[in-house]
Amino acid sequence: MHPGAIAAVTPGKPAVIMAGSGRIITFRELDEESNRLAHLFRAAGLRPGDHIAFMLANHPQFLAIAWAAHRSGLYYTPISSRLQTDELAYIVGNCGARVFISSADLAAVATSITAGTPGVELRLMLDGVAPGFASYEEAVAGQPVTPIADECQGADMLYSSGTTGRPKGVKLAASHGPLDEPGLLFKLIQGLFAPTPGSVYLSPAPLYHAAPLRYSMTFQRLGATVVVMERFDPERYLELVERYGVTHTQLVPTMFIKMLKLPEETRAKYDISSLRYAIHAAAPCPVPVKEQMIGWWGPIIHEYYAGTEGNGFLYVGPEDWLRHKGTVGRSLLGTVHICDENGDDLPPGEHGTIYFENGGRFEYHGDPGKTRSSQDPLGRGWTTLGDIGYLDEDGFLYLTDRRSYMIISGGVNIYPQEAENVLSVHPKVADVAVFGVPDEEMGEQVKAVVAPASMDEAGPALEAELIAYCREHLAHYKCPKSVDFRAQLPRHPTGKLYKRLLRDEYWPASK
């Protein structure tokens, strides 16, 4: 299925509802808009396998642009609207985009990369114009609303959010097959979460991230309505579930935490009984947080572990999670191996780098070095996302942390995710990051940077309280030796923490 097939049967059905404005884009409008842009791509000389990029916030035309590229057989790269000139220019140039689309609200940064991206042949701007950009609306206005003659499937090529260095472009194989050819993700979503044409999917995160984009497009393939939040707000989220009878949604743990910290009377005010599947991924969820969410929403919370790279997919439903608290699931795609630094398999219960055997194939576009670094050192074709974890005796995986964030203090390995999970549920903590900082004697010591619920409480007393609280739940060596306070931590809107930016502030002085 695809939007054109849905439009032929239910043209007036909402394909997209923008939560803030209430604007509705019907399946007919989505189909026609994506067809017009697909014709423009062909008129500009783009053929299957070519590349476009676009930088937008959660704009009403976001999904139409993605569908236009997808049904043209193109690779398409949606880019974070938060990026600045250098990183934006790097991505547009690295992916080889021949077309670049942005919007008037982002004109300042969009126009700043023109000189640095000479490979772009066509620049289009929504909601206005800017130097070097043609009006998107005028450019597509005269194009046919019928499909192009050579429709075929394209593929996204998404970039990591750069939490550990330069963003990496993940290039998956595009089938260039017919539009109604179901892919692996379609089959997984259909099998695990039972969407139907009557489903309503609420997407509270930026669409330029892998999961919101791919899940929104998959639900639209089935004829479901996608409600798009321009930005996440915990109470507004609950109100939208009630207003639109949301059946499916996908969140990240930071969103759970923000909703749990709403006053009890606010949480009880909204009817969320329409929810059938609340899916989460992207970051480890502290066990107490998920326990509280299941207690509030019931056994509808489902979790998976996967990456943009598509090299593996693990899943756990609420019942299995309650029997294996803290797990991110068992593998449905790719055999999981836990390996030591030499690449040798480790037994259940031992921590090591997580590798996938016989999973999806990928490469980091234009960077064979990065591609090689994701492969196992013994040359067996296994690949990793760089995470550390362990398997239990039943084959359930537990995440420990990113390999790059492991702290080595006095020769002992410390995984900061453990302390973060403890501190994140403290009532006076709004957000927290834990990482290693220089220590002359031990090499590294554990540091916490906390965004308190109220900056008025930031100070030595709260620092002592948080350290003591952590020591009540973890071995002392795993707990922070000191706590610094910030009004806000640098997070990607998808919930990923830019820990590297914080960590780097503490290390240059030691070099």
User: Tell me: the pLDDT tens digits for 444-500?
Assistant: 899 999 999 999 999 999 999 999 999 998 878 889 999 999 999 988 666 667 777
The per-residue pLDDT for 164 is: 45
For the residues 490-511, what does the mean pLDDT come to?
Answer: 71
How many domains in the chain? 2
For the residues 25-49, what does the mean pLDDT come to?
Answer: 98
Residue 470 lies in a domain: yes
Rounded to whole angstroms, what are the CA distances from 231 to 25, 245, 442? 18, 19, 42
Amino acid identity for residue 137 in this structure: E
The residue from 147, 181, 215 where one domain ends is: 181
Q: Are 38 and 182 in contact (CB under 8 A)?
A: no
Residue 35 lies in a domain: yes
The per-residue pLDDT for 411 is: 61
Of the listed ranges 84-93, 120-129, 268-277, 320-329, the least confidently predicted one is 84-93
Structure tokens at 499: 């820990």
Q: Are 81 and 161 in contact (CB under 8 A)?
A: no
- CATH number of the domain within which 112 lies: 3.40.50.12780
- Using alpha carbons only, give the angle 290, 291, 293 rounded to the nearest 5 degrees: 60
Q: How far apart are CA 478 and CA 499, in angstroms?
A: 18
Helices and strands, number each (H, E), in the chain? 17, 26
Q: Are 60 and 230 in contact (CB under 8 A)?
A: no
Q: What percent of the chain has pLDDT over 70?
A: 95
Residue 322 lies in a domain: no
Q: Tell me the HSE value of 337 on the side-chain side, using a 13 A CA sphere.
A: 21
Residue 303 lies in a domain: no
Edge to edge, the sheet with strand 429-439 lists 429-439, 443-452, 482-485
| Contacts of 343 by beta carbon, 8 Å cutoff, 6+ apart | 376, 377, 378, 380
Residue 208 lies in a domain: no
Q: What are phi and psi of 295, to 5 degrees?
A: -65, -35
Q: What is the DSSP letter of 284?
A: P
The per-residue pLDDT for 165 is: 55
Residue 149 lies in a domain: yes
Rounded to whole angstroms, what are the CA distances from 195 to 32, 59, 145, 219, 224? 24, 24, 28, 7, 8
| Contacts of 441 by beta carbon, 8 Å cutoff, 6+ apart | 410
The per-residue pLDDT for 75 is: 96
For the residues 378-404, what does the mean pLDDT come to?
Answer: 87
The residue from 113, 148, 181 where one domain ends is: 181
For the residues 260-276, what does the mean pLDDT come to?
Answer: 96
Residue 169 lies in a domain: yes
The per-residue pLDDT for 264 is: 94
Q: Are 12 and 26 in contact (CB under 8 A)?
A: yes
The residue from 145, 162, 181 where one domain ends is: 181
pLDDT tens string 278-311: 999 866 788 888 999 999 999 999 999 988 888 8
Residue 292 lies in a domain: no
503 pLDDT more than 50: yes
Q: How far apart are CA 314 and CA 337, in angstroms?
A: 13
Q: How confident is the model at residue 511 (pLDDT cuts 50, 70, 90)?
A: very low
The pTM of this model reads 0.83
Q: How confident is the model at residue 510 (pLDDT cuts 50, 70, 90)?
A: very low
For the residues 112-124, what does the mean pLDDT come to?
Answer: 96
109 pLDDT more than 50: yes
pLDDT tens string 404-416: 677 877 667 787 8
Q: Which residue has better confidence, 87 or 49?
A: 49
- Domain carrying residue 439: 406-510
Q: How many CB atoms are closer than 10 A to CB 332?
A: 15
363 pLDDT more than 90: no
Q: What percent of the chain has pLDDT over 90?
A: 67
